[in-house]
Structure 1
Amino acid sequence: MAGLCPHEVPAHAATSPSPRSHSENCKISLFFFPVSVAGRGKQEASSPSCACGHRDPRRTLTHFSQDNVSHYDIFLLHESEEELYVGARDRVLALTVGTPGSIPAGMLIPCLCSSAPPQTECFNFIRVLVALNQTHLYVCGTYAFSPACTYINFTLMSSGRGQPFLDGKGQCPFDPQHTYTALLVADGELYAGTMNNFQGNEPIISRSLGSRTLLKTDAFLRWLSADAAFVASFSIPGDDKVYFFFEETADEFDFFERLLVPRVARVCKSDVGGDKVLQKKWTTFLKAQLVCSQPGHFPFNVIHHAFALPRRDGGADFYAVFTSQWAGSAAVCAYSQEALEKVFEGKYKELNKESSRWTVYGGPDMNPRPGSCYMGPSSDKALTFMKDHFLMDGKVTPTQGQPLLVKTDITYTRIAVDETRGISGATYRVMFLATAEGFLHKAVELPEGPHIVESIQLFERPEPVKNLLLAPGKGILYVGYSSGVLQVPLANCSLHRSCAECVLARDPYCAWYSLEGSCQPTRPGLEGGMGHMGCTASPCSPSPQPAGLSPPLNALANYSWQQPGGPGGRGDTALLPNHTLVVIMQRGTAGTYKCRASENGYTWTVAHYQLQDPSGVAPQLDELAEEELAWGSSVPGTPRSYWPQFVTVTVLLAVTLAAAACLALLAYHDQLKARSKVRGCSAPHSPPSQRREKVPLNGGTGEPSAPEVPTEEEEEEEEGSRACCPQLDGDIDVDNNRLHVPVGGTA
């Protein structure tokens, strides 16, 4: 048992597990006399079922890195899924899939320059890595702010000695910090979206390689804003279109600050450019706004990455991750290809040159429709119309009109989506979302909403994930970051120890195997899985686990306790705020204690304990080891003395009263001293006859008033004044301020 060795359990307070073994979700611990049973409450609904930290033994990750190599940014998986090609700084590496620790083949593509020191900008960051054919790769890099491209074969050896580099302008960015996207279609043509100059203010969508004329967007017509940032590009099998996802500053809105808008642009593979108008320029370029928002909240207007998932019935669904320009939250929105095409077939916007405002085009329709892929060679009138009508009026709304998933205080940087079939035959889509802090979230789409199965901390210190690539045939997800590559298995079934945990995890890659009594990757012959609760009593009992306190594996479950005498017990138990059940050993407390978990409408027993008290009396103090008693604790039934506390309070009261008496005596002494102070003599008083005016101030004659008779107090005061003040004889000269004293007198 946790906290005590078996021989330390008191003889009169013992616990014994029932034949049903307990799991890690609920543990029992004995702390000297009370019995403590721990559990944990339900987490928020948006929290993952399992959160694995860095190097958590419950999640096995395979890591690859090489000395003096960094920025593992670009991935290319061979069609056989046996080799993974990685574009890093100054190198292209080839890794064997599913073979940890294998020595990769590699090719050094250094940047030979003299204008910049090697320790700063003089590097070749690989930005384009595509399979040109069955034997060669086409690789482009920044090459010290001078983009260059070359051909190499699949053995990562140069196609020829002294093979010159090709100009990569328009295919690869100048600065490694600039965003980019590149796509090679089946006919060997490269479609790229990147910056076309060193300053990074001329975005371009171009088509190169192949035998046809190079096409690009027109910078003078401002089809793209100067700050356009590309995040992804896709070509759907069997379709004649190429889609580019990017963000840019919106020119069609009058906003008091810079307003970013997510966009999707479309060009046609059959586009050949114009003859006189729009020569070597796209004649099918159109762009529209993407919408990802919740009612009453700021819109998610900053797009970070997108992923295309082809459907079995044709077409594709596009998944994109967004953040808000004003709020710290992230969202995942999904768009159908039909929703995109509906907007591109809608109304155009046009710029009113007189008012400099964008308005809806209300002119006559043209046939064939400008910008359509079946337009063919167009007239100069249609091409002139396309020069100014490249922005669509409609907006692409997400599936179900709202985001699939919203998370606060998180920034999703990459997304990959896999489609798998459960044992019940239903198809599930699993989203792998990488964050800017280095976490990986695995979320499954369910009819009631998305559910985050697990969260994995990929790195020891926070850093963004650079790339995600799925190898569905191998069941592996590759993660690229600045210092290496991680290989993450899609399924993590061994994490779940019981049938209930396996099924309630809602992981479509896992199901319960009844014959072996374990949770395993999905295959025919398994039960449970995503479809239903197929657990039975015997094979789905919790498997034995080592005793000890630990948090429950399923963070979404709600744990409760069943006690003898009903849910509330017999009054001698207490449930602490941390969901710890404290049992005071008394008569009648022995019995069965069960820890039960509840999730998604299903309840099962996680742990089962039998508390025994054979003697029926509480243990005495001498039966317990002294080290098992906490400071200040006592055994029930032992009288407790409060004499030390009484003496302490009495002494403090006496000291307080003595201090108050001293203060009172000191105050009385000061009062007596003030009363005994000797006063000085008073000033001489004028006689009563001089205190009043004899004549009114107005010069009139008034009635003479009767002389006042002085009182006894005035007489005494006057006598005192005479005693203190000397009497002067003589005349006073008021004008000259002199005193005339008779001869023989004193002045």
Structure 2
Amino acid sequence: MYVFHLICSKMLSKESISKSCNNHYVILLQCLLINWLYAEHLERFQHQQIEHYKPILFIEKDYKVFIGAKNHILALNLMDFQSSFQQHYSIPAEIKQINNCHQKTTNREECHNFITTLFPINGGKQILYCGTNAYSPQCQITLINDNFQVVNKSVSTLSPHSPYWNTTTLLIENGQFYYAGPIDSHGTNVTIIQQIDIFNNTTHFVQTLQNNHYWINKDANFVASFQYEQHVYFLFRESDMEHSNMGGHRVMSRIGRVCKKDSGLQNHWTTFLKARLNCSLPGSIPFYLNEIQSVHYIHNDKSYRFYAVFNTPQNSLHGSAVCVFTMKSVLRSFEGAFRYQPSPSQLWQRQDDDHTVFNCQASHNDHSQSHLSLKYQLMDDAVQPINDKPLIFTKDEHFKLIAVDWIETKFDNFVQIIFIATNDGKLLKYVHWSNLDESCLIDAIQLINPKENQFLSMKFYRATDSLYFGTEKEFIRLSVDQCDKYPNEEECINSGDPYCGWNRYQMKCIRSSLGILRDENFIQNKNPQSCQQLWSDWFSCSVTDPKTFAQGICQCRQRPCASTTNNNCFKGFEYQVTDCVVYHTWKFLFVSVIVAVLLSSSITALMYFYFFPKIKKRAKKSKPTPKLEIYKKSPTLSLSPAYSMATSTVTSSLSCSTRNLDSIIREIGPKKLTI
């Protein structure tokens, strides 16, 4: 069985095939095959009038997933997009706002209502959604019913004007609504802002000091936000101010925070602080990856962590990495010294001071230490990742989005599985075993065509064990495991996939679960001692069958063998072959002709030495009178079409003509002419 890990969103156009037929023909065949092979694990939703699928909201009690898109909100079944339950609510921008938008921007494509935010309210009975509304953003609360009835209109304007800005929003239990990003139509007034009570349409806001690059620089790009204990945290990247006296600015990754109960002073935060996130390769000269791209926050009863994707700047040596940070490391930085610059002309310095107000320990109305928020915004110590190095690093891919799962296996109670979506449309699946220092890349799937589509969002949902992707053209669900693609026990347990194991009772590869881990009929390998390398890219190869001499041009890929006992190994490599176009060589054709000639000669000899003597004996006994009429039609030996070419000479020699009957009679005699 051949396993193909190439999934395409749709067939390539005839024009694209004609331009690069050699490259796209194989992709076309693999697209057809893989969508059939992954039918139970892969779903795609497309609508001719809908695009830009981005925010994703799961409502478990209704078994629904809501997706925000351009002018629409969709509701689909969590595991069956093609079921009878499919709803999409049209929420276009108002005509007046569209006309105003045309005056604000030259890109009229943005003059629609792009849904940017979805939050559940009232136990999942209602939804808070925000949209760009043609550069006049607004948020509304609606009921989850057939009509999507609006309950509370225009409860907030804290939403991006453009669908392409990097912003983040967060709604916490008491109705506090946080937004981080630009609040003006030009995208230059960047802030972290809180609306105190969005449910009661309160207009009281608290925000960072505007147009102050010590607080938030105007080029800041936000990627995530979450709450932890008494604080709300924001992750973003911005040009720094620390190196302005050393020849310019550099983009830095930050984690900022504010106290949830900070009511502000003159509408400005009194508890805002930020610290640098360090993700770098250790060495005498560290290799820094300073641009955070995506974050997945995950926790259990013992550990609170967030996994973050970092890239190097576009104009430098490329690198992508995943660094993991614990909340203990974050708190250690925020409890340390401040970094302070007395004046723009002076150097930055390390300074210790009181942390009471920043740790949310001051009373609600106590502003005696609020002046500290105007003095300090930056911590001196950077937040360091686990083991002071990236969990994953590569120079070959450009990471974009991340999702993480933690599971147990038969021999390991903490296995980290990291899913990464790349800029070129691939989904990478890494596994980090507790006994290894490195993460193993076990799968790479070309999920979308990057020339026609782009990833916009990705979420992992444990209840369905699935990844959900919002893209420009479609909405996708993919199961995190595809265990049934392994046909036998050897391939199953050697796959390196901790989700899978071999069930001896069912005799198939199945998804592991806590209930089955203790079953003696469920088999999994022990933790690997090293990572098995991933399959190479598909390449054209020539394959010859030694029995038939048939040759084929195929698509092949290889990887080094993990063990010497692997029966599929050849010269140290394991191969997978597919999409063969078989043809026969000249050697095969030559041998075929020789065999045909020998076979026809054997038939001729058999007829001459066995059948003809019997005919002669019968002719002597009967002594018939020869009749010249029999020569009017020439007898011809008929052979099958397969051998007609090879035996044309033999056949012609057995054919009689009616050229001159008298001469024939004189030469061979009348008795020899009897058939």
Aligned residues of 2:140 and 2:150 also touching (Cα < 8 A): no
CA-to-partner distance for each residue in 1:321-372, whole Å, 9 max, x for gaps? 011012222111100000000000000011221624322125xx43x62311
CA-to-partner distance for each residue in 1:656-697, whole Å, 9 max, x for gaps? xxxxxxxxxxxxxxxxxxxxxxxxxxxxxxxxxxxxxxxxxx
- Compared CA separation, residues 219 and 628, structure 1 to 2 (3 A): farther
Shift of 1:132: 2.2
Pairing partner for 1:290 from 269, 277, 280: 277
Q: RCO higher in 1 or 2 (8 Å CA, sep ≥ 6)?
A: 1
CA-to-partner distance for each residue in 1:105-142, whole Å, 9 max, x for gaps? 22211111323469633201111111122221111111
SS across alignment from 2:308: strand
Shift of 1:578: 8.0
Pairing partner for 1:370 from 340, 357, 361: 357
Identity among equivalent pairs (%): 25
State the partner residue of 2:68. 87
SS across alignment from 2:80: coil
1:204 aligns with 2:186: no
Aligned residues of 1:221 and 1:387 also touching (Cα < 8 A): no
State the partner residue of 1:319. 307
Pairing partner for 1:606 from 553, 565, 568: 568
SS across alignment from 2:225: strand
Shift of 1:377: 4.1
Shift of 1:437: 1.1
Aligned residues of 2:424 and 2:449 also touching (Cα < 8 A): no
1:481 aligns with 2:460: no
Write the mapping of 1:346-365 to structure 2, written as runs, cut at 5 A. 346-353=336-343, 355-362=345-352, 365=353
What is the alpha-carbon root mean square deviation over aligned residues? 3.2
- Compared CA separation, residues 597 and 383, structure 1 to 2 (3 A): closer
Shift of 1:228: 0.8
In 2, Cα distance between equivalents of 1:151 and 1:358: 46
In 2, Cα distance between equivalents of 1:444 and 1:318: 16
- Compared CA separation, residues 415 and 628, structure 1 to 2 (3 A): farther
SS across alignment from 1:120: helix
State the partner residue of 1:679. none
Aligned residue type for 1:264? I
1:96 aligns with 2:77: yes
Write the mapping of 1:20-39 to structure 2, written as runs, cut at 5 A. none
CA-to-partner distance for each residue in 1:567-600, whole Å, 9 max, x for gaps? xxxxxxxxxx989899899xxxxxxxxxx99744
In 2, Cα distance between equivalents of 1:527 and 1:484: 37
State the partner residue of 2:509. 519
State the partner residue of 1:304. 293
Write the mapping of 1:581-620 to structure 2, written as runs, cut at 5 A. 599-601=561-563, 603-606=565-568
In 2, Cα distance between equivalents of 1:555 and 1:380: 59
Shift of 1:59: 3.5
State the partner residue of 1:40. none
Write the mapping of 1:617-636 to structure 2, written as runs, cut at 5 A. 626-628=589-591
State the partner residue of 2:329. 339
Write the mapping of 1:195-234 to structure 2, written as runs, cut at 5 A. 195-210=182-197, 213-222=204-213, 223-234=215-226
Shift of 1:185: 1.3
SS across alignment from 2:162: coil
- Compared CA separation, residues 156 and 335, structure 1 to 2 (3 A): farther
SS across alignment from 1:334: strand
- Compared CA separation, residues 348 and 120, structure 1 to 2 (3 A): same
In 2, Cα distance between equivalents of 1:411 and 1:266: 28
In 2, Cα distance between equivalents of 1:602 and 1:475: 34
Aligned residues of 1:192 and 1:205 also touching (Cα < 8 A): yes
State the partner residue of 1:271. 262
Aligned residue type for 1:225? N
Shift of 1:244: 0.5
Shift of 1:217: 1.1
Pairing partner for 2:480 from 490, 514, 517: 490
Aligned residue type for 1:324? T
State the partner residue of 2:609. none
State the partner residue of 1:108. 90
In 1, Cα distance between equivalents of 2:474 and 2:523: 37
Of structures 1 and 2, the larger Rg is shown by 1
- Compared CA separation, residues 116 and 584, structure 1 to 2 (3 A): closer
In 1, Cα distance between equivalents of 2:593 and 2:255: 68
State the partner residue of 1:568. none
Shift of 1:390: 1.3
Aligned residue type for 1:528? I
Aligned residues of 1:132 and 1:184 also touching (Cα < 8 A): no
TM-score (norm 2): 0.69
- Compared CA separation, residues 530 and 116, structure 1 to 2 (3 A): same
State the partner residue of 1:469. 459
Say how many residue pairs are matched. Answer: 507
Shift of 1:409: 3.3
Write the mapping of 1:339-488 to structure 2, written as runs, cut at 5 A. 339-353=329-343, 355-362=345-352, 365-366=353-354, 369-377=356-364, 380-424=367-411, 426-446=413-433, 447-448=435-436, 449-462=438-451, 463-488=453-478
Aligned residue type for 2:457? N
1:73 aligns with 2:47: no
Aligned residues of 1:81 and 1:471 also touching (Cα < 8 A): no
Shift of 1:270: 2.2
SS across alignment from 2:406: strand
Aligned residue type for 1:412? F
In 2, Cα distance between equivalents of 1:597 and 1:155: 52
Pairing partner for 1:500 from 475, 490, 493: 490
- Provide structure 1 residue ranges, at least 5 long, that are not aligned to the other structure: 1-22, 26-51, 534-553, 559-576, 586-595, 609-623, 632-747
Aligned residues of 2:339 and 2:376 also touching (Cα < 8 A): yes
State the partner residue of 1:531. 526
SS across alignment from 2:374: helix
1:165 aligns with 2:127: no
State the partner residue of 2:597. none
- Compared CA separation, residues 499 and 556, structure 1 to 2 (3 A): farther
Aligned residues of 2:306 and 2:325 also touching (Cα < 8 A): yes
Shift of 1:527: 3.2
Shift of 1:461: 4.2
Shift of 1:159: 3.8
- Provide structure 2 residue ranges, at least 5 long, that are not aligned to the other structure: 4-28, 549-557, 571-586, 595-675
SS across alignment from 1:352: coil
In 2, Cα distance between equivalents of 1:630 and 1:301: 69
State the partner residue of 1:150. 140
In 2, Cα distance between equivalents of 1:487 and 1:407: 26
Aligned residue type for 1:488? L
Aligned residues of 1:597 and 1:603 also touching (Cα < 8 A): no
Shift of 1:310: 0.9
Shift of 1:175: 1.8
Aligned residues of 1:415 and 1:431 also touching (Cα < 8 A): yes
Aligned residue type for 1:253? H
- Compared CA separation, residues 256 and 332, structure 1 to 2 (3 A): same
Aligned residue type for 2:118? L
State the partner residue of 1:618. none
In 2, Cα distance between equivalents of 1:505 and 1:218: 53
Shift of 1:164: 4.2
Shift of 1:262: 0.4
Aligned residues of 1:444 and 1:451 also touching (Cα < 8 A): yes
- Compared CA separation, residues 203 and 54, structure 1 to 2 (3 A): farther
Aligned residues of 2:181 and 2:222 also touching (Cα < 8 A): yes
Aligned residue type for 1:63? R
In 1, Cα distance between equivalents of 2:569 and 2:274: 59
SS across alignment from 2:348: strand
Aligned residue type for 1:409? D
Aligned residues of 1:81 and 1:473 also touching (Cα < 8 A): no
State the partner residue of 2:639. none
SS across alignment from 1:604: coil
1:176 aligns with 2:163: yes
- Compared CA separation, residues 202 and 531, structure 1 to 2 (3 A): same
Shift of 1:225: 0.5
